[in-house]
Structures are given as C-alpha cells and as structure tokens.
Amino acid sequence: MEDVGGQPLLRHQARMTQSIGPVTVALPPAPHPRYTAISGLDVTALPVPDAAEGMGASLRRAFAALPRGTAAAMVMLADMPELEASDLASLAASVDLNSDTLIWRAATEDGTPGHPIIFAAALFDQLRQLSGDDGGRAVVRGAASRMQLVPLSGQRARLDLDTPEDWAAWREQQR
C-alpha cells in the first residue's frame, strides 16, 4: 500500500470517489491492511473470499453486491495516483442513460482507452459472471461498438502503478 500525499493511495482514491456517489471497495479477506486504510470512511468494504482468483472475482462480487435498480456503476482501480476528482466528475457527467451507450471509458488526452470505466446496468449480468484475472476486458470488447471514450488530461487514464519499479519511477518524476 503506497503512500501518496501523506495517506495510503487506497484511502485517497476512496475519499475522492465519494464525491461521485456511494463507494464499495473490493478487498481481500480480513484481516488485511487495506481495511485499516479505509477505516472511518463512509464506504462499504466488500470482502472477496476468492480474491486470489484475480480481478474477475473482485468485479463479480462487486457487481453482485450492487443495490437493485442501480443504473450504472464505475469501476476504478486503486493504483492510479494521478486521477483527480474532476476526472471522475467529467466521466460521470458524460453518462447518458437514454443513449445506446453501454460503457463510458476514461481515455488519455490522445484517445487511448484507460480507466475508470462506467458500465450501464445492461452489462451487469455479464460482469457478475466474470472469472480469472482478465477483469472485464471481454465485456468491454463485446460492447466496444457502444462505448464512449471520455478524454482526461495527459496520461492520467493510463498511469497505473503496479510494481515497486513503477512507483519509484513515478516518485522520481514528482520531485
């Protein structure tokens, strides 16, 4: 759990996402340090007992936990330190549930698809069936013709830090 701005990035991301709507955080089974990172926030901690299976398990559990009647849901990765609340607001503002669009996806300034992604309810059943570590890629590919890209500033929609080397390089650039 990397620290950004004096707090764990997961906490920062969860707090920022609260400005858009209710937040559910998919987590490995407790006890785990990620629970401490979000303690005291008005978010729902969602234990994923089969988290070792990969991203598919987290998405499957999260979409299964959505309240009945949810019209759309945002999937946000917790390892994207340059996303800002204004990015989430822009993405959320692009949603038009009266259109044929099923996916609203953040993109880089030059149009390269990235994250976060908002899925319309018509895709929830597919997302509840996911398995493995491919995440929702197959669902996104299947609905690509009904996807709207929402450009964000710079490369924010693609800057995803997964390794210690990624974090070290990013921190060096921040100096």
For the chain, give the percent of residues with pLDDT over 70. Answer: 100
> CATH code at 157?
3.90.550.10
Q: How many domains does the chain have?
A: 1
Closest Cα partner for 118 from 160, 76, 66, 82? 76
Give residue-wise pLDDT tens across range 95-154: 999 999 999 999 999 999 999 999 999 999 999 999 888 889 999 999 999 999 999 999
Q: What integer pLDDT is reported at residue 104 of this predicted model?
A: 98
Burial track 33-62 (b if 16+ CB lie within 10 A, e otherwise): ebbebbeebebebeebeebeeebbbbbbbb
**Arithmetic mean of pLDDT, 38-64:** 93
Q: What integer pLDDT is reported at residue 72 of this predicted model?
A: 97
Coil, helix or strand for 51?
A: helix
CA pair distance 107, 140, nearest whole angstrom:
14
CA pair distance 166, 160, nearest whole angstrom:
8
Q: What integer pLDDT is reported at residue 1 of this predicted model?
A: 77
Q: What integer pLDDT is reported at residue 174 of this predicted model?
A: 84
DSSP assignment letter at 124: H
Tokens at residue 11, please? 């906490």
Q: Which residue range is the domain that position 103 belongs to?
A: 3-174
DSSP assignment letter at 67: P
Number of helices and strands in the chain (H, E) = 7, 8
Tokens at residue 116, please? 């976060």
Tokens at residue 85, please? 């609340």
What are the start-end ranges of the E strands in the chain? Answer: 3-4, 7-8, 24-27, 44-47, 72-75, 103-107, 113-120, 147-151
